[in-house]
Amino acid sequence: MSLPLTDKKIVLGISGSIAVYKVADWLRSLLKEGGEVNVIMTEAATRFVSPLTFAALSGKKVYSSMFEEENAENIPHISLARDCDLILIAPATAQTIARLAHGLADDLLSAVTLATKAKVVVCPAMNSSMYLHPATQANINKLKEYGYTVVDPASGLMACDEKGPGRLPEWDVIRESILQALAHQDLHGCPVLITAGPTIEPIDSVRFISNRSTGKMGFALARAAHQRGAQVTLITGPSNLPHPPGVHVVSVLTANEMHEAVMTRYDRNRVIVKAAAVSDFRPKTVRPEKIKKAAASLTMTLQPNPDILQELGDRGKESKHPPLLIGFAAESRDHLDEGARKLRDKNLDLIVVNDISATDAGFAVDTNRVTILARNSDASELPLLSKEETAHRIWNRVVKML
Ligand code: CTP
């Protein structure tokens, strides 16, 4: 399994804010995700945390001066600028942002950023009044005009005891911005609808019928599509997963609610992916009060839920420009035959079949092993991959069809 940042050369540019200590952990995360990282610290940053910390974590020399006496032939601001895919500036102080906005090159970090053709992701972190000052806001807008990604700071209580925007966001948010900056924007502007998670069907005021789906595959598809530039709507049943940044999330509970949420958005999307594990049945009557255990036995009558994917497939037959329709098939036996049957019967463009009896694939795990079936073509069997990578492989296939 390859890691998301394998073969990616990243410069981590650190400027002088109290938040420097948080970035030590981000460096470890960048390395864990497969990135090759060089660290540049501004002079002010070295006052907060010693370069030794970053050298020890990266296993490499930390750069901070424009004028290196050793290896003088290898001018650092040019070699670092050329040999990198992405510069992550975190924390970015008001001073560093002003330098970048005005094209100054009076320290190594600003000179490298000026000289690079790589993607640049800037993470402002400072006192809220400094952040909200029109001068800083104007400088941030300039960076956006240059094509840099500027990650909005989080709000909360700051080291200076003020409350407001200016804190470094969590790693998960930064990771998403990095992956988006590096991703090929082959779904740019493409509206896609993804369903995820289980549905729950109430029995009484406290109980329900559901299934083991956690939403991991659908959420991974939403993240991957967003990274590739799509406008993503994610309709999800109950899930504990954090909402993917930049994705429009619609939360539903029952199959009927999911049905309505999907059908009303049918025409607005170019691709619909139904990764949700929809309950096929629901109790015929929902008791308004908690059922007491007094009775010796209890019989519950179930009635079928709408098959959302089937309806989408049927609607596609009547539509002039139907969205591409991708289904999932969770099978515990005869997966390929069952997948092929659902592909045909539900009028799909692709179906992703997974074997839910395997312990490393299917519900509630981070990996998946799927086979993609398309109309009139062979099955393509993917190896065991993270759900994130499986999601990208599915989008690779969809992009070819678009
Ligand atoms: N699906 C749906 N609405 C339902 C049931 C399933 O939209 N009421 C969708 C799922 O989101 C998935 C696909 O249909 O994309 C296949 O779901 P699966 O549970 O594997 O199959 P079923 O259609 O329920 O068929 P069976 O019970 O025969 O396996």
| pLDDT 10s digits, 287-337 | 999 998 887 788 999 999 999 999 999 999 999 999 999 999 988 888 899
Spatial separation of the C-alpha atoms in residues 169 and 166, rounded to whole Å: 9
Pocket test for ligand 1, best of 210, 280, 350 (most atoms within 8 A of CB): 280
Q: Where in the chain is the domain with CATH 3.40.50.1950?
A: 9-182
Cβ atoms of residues 90 and 23 within 8 Å: yes
- CATH code for the structural domain at 191-286+298-401: 3.40.50.10300
Band (pLDDT 50/70/90 cuts) for residue 378 is confident
pTM (2 decimals)?
0.92
Atom 18 of ligand 1, residue of closest alpha carbon: 329
Integer Rg of the chain from CA: 25
Assess whether the C-beta atom of 307 lies below 6 angstroms from ligand 1: yes
Contact in structure between 400 and 350 (CB atoms under 8 Å): no
Cα 342 to ligand 1 centroid, rounded to whole Å: 8
Residue 177 to residues 126, 223, 394, Cα–Cα distance (Å)? 19, 11, 21
- Active site includes 123? no
- Map tokens 């065991």 to a residue: 384
Per-residue DSSP letter, 161: S
**pLDDT at residue 13 is higher than 90:** yes
- Ligand 1 centroid to Cα of residue 305, in Å, is 10
Residue 74 has pLDDT above 70, yes or no: no
Q: What's the CA-to-centroid distance between 307 and ligand 1, angstroms?
A: 7
Which of 342, 345, 347 to mutate for ligand 1's pocket (most ligand atoms within 8 Å of CB)?
342
Is 231's pLDDT higher than 70? Answer: yes
**Using alpha carbons only, what angle is made at residue 240 by residues 239 and 244, rounded to the nearest 5 degrees?**
85
Distance 296 CA to ligand 1 centre (A): 34
Q: What is the mean pLDDT of the chain?
A: 94
From the CA of 379, how far away is ligand 1's center (Å)?
Answer: 20
Task: Read off the amino acid at residue 166.
Answer: G
- According to CATH, the superfamily of the domain at 9-182 is Flavin prenyltransferase-like (3.40.50.1950)
Of 236, 239, 231, the C-alpha closest to 271 is 231
Mean pLDDT, rounded, for 134-151? 98
Distance 194 CA to ligand 1 centre (A): 14
Q: Whose CA is nearest to atom 24 of ligand 1?
A: 280
> Is any atom of ligand 1 closer than 6 Å to the C-beta of 124?
no
The verdict on the CB of residue 329 being under 6 Å from ligand 1 is yes
- Predicted pLDDT at 355: 81
pLDDT at 331: 87
The tens digit of pLDDT for each residue in 176-202 reads 999 999 999 999 999 999 999 999 999
CA 305 to chain CA centroid, Å, is 31
Whole-number Å distance between alpha carbons of 38 and 44: 18
For ligand 1, whether the C-beta of 279 sits within 6 Å is no
Q: Largest Cα–Cα distance of the chain, in whole Å?
A: 87
Beta strands in 22-113 (DSSP E): 36-41, 86-92
The residue annotated as part of the active site, out of 84, 123, 160, 190, is: 160
311 CB within 6 A, ligand 1 = no
The pLDDT value given to residue 73: 64
CATH 3.40.50.10300 placement within the chain:
191-286+298-401
User: Could you tell me if the CB of 278 is within 6 A of ligand 1?
Assistant: yes
Grouping H, G, I as helix, E, B as strand and the rest as coil, residue 262 is helix
pLDDT digits (tens, 9 = 90+) for 40-56: 999 999 999 999 999 99
